[in-house]
Amino acid sequence: MFAAAPINLKNREIQQRFQWLFGVMLIFLIIPVVVILGMLLIKGWPAMSWSFIFDDPKNGMTAGGIFPALFGTIWLVIVSLLASVPLGVAAAIYLSEYAPDNMLTRLINLATINLAGVPSIVHALFGVGAFVSFFKFGTSILAASLTLAIMTLPVVIVSSWESLQSVPRSFREACWNMGATRWQTIWNVVLPNAFTGILTGVILQVSRAAGETAPIMFTGAAMFLPFLPNSVFDQTMALALHLFVVATQVPDVPESLPFGVALVLVGIVLLMNTVAIWIRMHLRGKKKW
């Protein structure tokens, strides 16, 4: 039998130390999430009922349900997805497959990454100036959704670009050698193999779009509306803004009410993410590389 050399024993010890370190870091990341979810469940569960989900707010929003805000949040997320995902994927395709590797392209990539860190209130002011005032959409679902789309667009572009870059170049060369055009290669080979990574960017967008308050507060969300929106040019309530209002602006609100709103909001985000993650894992399992 061969005995482990001192250098191997030392490397194994270092590896175990780092393993313990990363394990402790993971625990410290999980604990706050568990505490927050536990607090929401304990304090928000008493408010949960079918009437809470499907009724309108009553008595100055101190009672009743959250259906208009829930309905409006779904509107905002869907419209923002329809605006940002096609544009973001198209931009990523151009940067990955068509744009030359020069100073201008590198500046565009750098600007896209930096844009992802711009505070949401700045996007809100941009939305007011661009969509509410310049394009004359008014304070509406369309203006709020486009503001959310602009805010989340860099995430979609970056994640899509990285996914396209992860597809082996040999796949492209094999298609070109068979006589396929560049677009045929992108559409039939590159995009299907990059779809799971693109879906990651969509998941991140859904989470952020559903939970943002400042961009929609100035562009299309209302504190209270006695009716549901009929089109994208109407205003709407939203869960994030409704939570802010009942937690800070409305007196004599039952303690369970804002926690119940927060629990529903977190539940919607988790549900959407779970569905998207399941689709991503299902498609990833079909990959042959």
Distant-in-sequence contacts of 183-191, Cβ < 8 A, 24+ apart:
186/93, 186/97, 190/97, 190/164, 191/93, 191/164
Q: What is the DSSP pairing of strand 63-64 with strand 57-58?
A: antiparallel
What are the residue boundaries of the structural domains of the chain, listed by start? 67-284
Q: Which helix (H) or strand (E) holds 17?
A: helix 6-44
Digit-coded pLDDT (tens) for 264-276: 998 888 887 787 7
Bridge partners of 236, per DSSP, are 221
200 neighbors 277 (Cβ within 8 angstroms) = no
Check if CATH label 1.10.3720.10 holds for domain 67-284. Answer: yes
Phi, psi of 63 (to 5 degrees): -150, 180
Joined tokens for residue 190: 């590159």
Q: What is the pTM of this model?
A: 0.86
Helices and strands (H and E) in the chain: how many = 12, 2
**DSSP assignment letter at 101:** S
Digit-coded pLDDT (tens) for 55-100: 988 888 888 889 999 999 989 999 999 999 999 999 999 998 898 8
Digit-coded pLDDT (tens) for 200-253: 778 878 888 888 888 899 898 888 887 888 889 999 999 999 999 998 888 888
